[in-house]
């Protein structure tokens, strides 16, 4: 007998009565029916497949192993919930698709997204590419990274124009890349002002900036100077020689200094014996003619002398000028001893 609602029942007439002979009709049909019922059952060890749909009656299949092949039933934790309550745990891999058969489709088979080898993700509508992302390269005129509807003011239309205002150049409509640049400025002059004009501009010179009309003049004791059209140098003028009567003064392009008697005395006190500018009592040992004041002699012709005219063996260095008188015919040294000043 067939199962009814999943319940198996033996065929009628199978019950044996005590004391009566068992008939084949009581024995064979039940066993044959049981054999068929067992054949129609699903083996637990999986040795036979299902031959029809298996209604679950609102019950769940529990303890299901994770699917590892295309013919396996996936578990709940292996599928993506439609309401997004369970996130992806691995990348979603789909085929690249084509323009007329995109990998991800919306409503119709030829509306969706596909991958363009060598370019990137592309968008198709009615089997025609309407947009494409190309990393690192310019977009083709036939593709747009964004699409817009008529009257959409968020994006620049090709008919719109970018105009360069005063002081700027460049611009143009939205059909190509445009550049706006600062116009070439006019030359700054002493009287220019801060202005902008078509394609140009200029600046005023501040009061704290020097102009070419301003001149640097060298005062007393200095030389150089000039206007500010070039670098200028101010130098100290060559001073006059200091004399006993000179004063502290500056005039023209020179100057001089006064020197006090105390300073002269101090300088003289610091001169060593035999230095230029010092005096010494010397005797000429080689002259045969008179020597008058102002005559000069090399130190090798002179010897240091005492007031009594005695000479010493050392000769002074340098050149000396006679401050007294030496007779040429004198035979004794004492007659030739007089005052000399070293001049070099």
Q: Would you call 27 helix, strand, or coil by DSSP? A: helix
> What's the pLDDT at 134?
61
Q: How far apart are CA 206 and CA 190, in angstroms?
A: 10
CA pair distance 7, 233, nearest whole angstrom? 124
State the virtual CA torsion across 323, 327, 331, 334 in degrees, nearest 10.
-30
Nearest to 130 by CA among 104, 112, 157: 112
Rounded CA gap, 249 and 93, in Å?
100
Nearest to 123 by CA among 102, 150, 108: 102
DSSP 262: H
**How do strand 302-304 and strand 215-217 relate by DSSP bridges?**
unpaired
User: In this structure, what token pair is assigned to residue 49?
Assistant: 């497949």
Specify the 3-state DSSP secondary structure of 249.
strand
Residues 6+ apart with CB under 8 A from 291: 284, 297, 322, 325, 326, 328
Cβ–Cβ < 8 Å for 285, 311: yes
Q: Which residues pair with 180 in a beta bridge?
A: 170
Mean pLDDT split into 10-residue runs, the chain, 344 residues:
74 81 81 82 85 88 92 86 80 87 90 85 87 58 51 65 90 87 86 89 81 82 86 89 85 86 72 85 82 92 80 85 82 72 92
Q: Which helix (H) or strand (E) holds 248?
A: none
Q: How far apart are CA 198 and CA 196, in angstroms?
A: 7
CA distances from 46 to 19, 50, 62, 70, 267 (A): 44, 9, 17, 18, 131
Number of Cα atoms under 13 Å in the Cβ half of residue 41: 12
User: What are the C-alpha distances in Å from 147 to residues 120, 123, 154?
Assistant: 17, 11, 11
CA 282: distance to chain centroid?
81
pLDDT, position 154:
54
């Amino acid at each position: 007998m067939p199962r009814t609602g999943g319940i198996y029942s033996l065929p009628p007439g199978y019950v044996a009565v005590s004391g009566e002979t068992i008939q084949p009709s009581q024995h064979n049909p039940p066993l044959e029916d049981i054999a068929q019922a067992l054949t129609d059952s699903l083996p637990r060890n999986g040795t036979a497949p299902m031959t029809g749909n298996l209604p679950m009656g609102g019950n769940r299949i529990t303890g299901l192993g994770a699917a590892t092949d295309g013919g396996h039933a996936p578990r709940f934790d292996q599928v993506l919930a439609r309401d997004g309550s369970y996130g992806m745990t691995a990348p979603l891999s789909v085929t690249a698709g084509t323009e007329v058969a995109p990998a991800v489709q919306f409503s119709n088979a030829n509306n969706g997204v596909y991958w363009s080898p060598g370019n990137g993700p592309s968008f198709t509508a009615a089997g025609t590419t309407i947009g494409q992302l190309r990393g690192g390269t310019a977009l083709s005129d036939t593709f747009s990274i964004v699409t817009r509807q008529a009257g959409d003011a968020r994006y620049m239309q090709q008919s719109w124009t970018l105009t360069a205002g005063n002081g700027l150049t460049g611009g143009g409509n939205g059909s190509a890349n445009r550049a706006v640049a600062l116009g070439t400025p006019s030359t700054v002059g002493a009287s220019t002002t801060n202005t902008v004009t078509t394609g140009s501009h200029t600046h005023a010179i501040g009061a704290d900036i020097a102009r070419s009309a301003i001149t640097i003049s060298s005062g007393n004791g200095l030389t150089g100077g000039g206007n500010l059209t070039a670098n200028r140098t101010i130098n100290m003028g060559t001073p006059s020689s200091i004399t006993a009567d000179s004063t502290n003064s500056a005039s023209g392009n020179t100057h001089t200094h006064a020197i006090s008697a105390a300073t002269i005395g101090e300088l003289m006190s610091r001169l060593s014996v035999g230095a230029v500018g010092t005096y010494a009592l010397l005797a000429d040992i080689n002259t045969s003619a008179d020597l008058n004041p102002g005559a000069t002699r090399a130190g090798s012709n002179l010897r240091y002398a005492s007031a009594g005219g005695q000479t010493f063996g050392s000769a002074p260095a340098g050149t000396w000028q006679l401050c007294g008188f030496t007779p040429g015919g004198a035979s004794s040294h004492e007659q030739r001893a007089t005052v000399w000043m070293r001049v070099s």
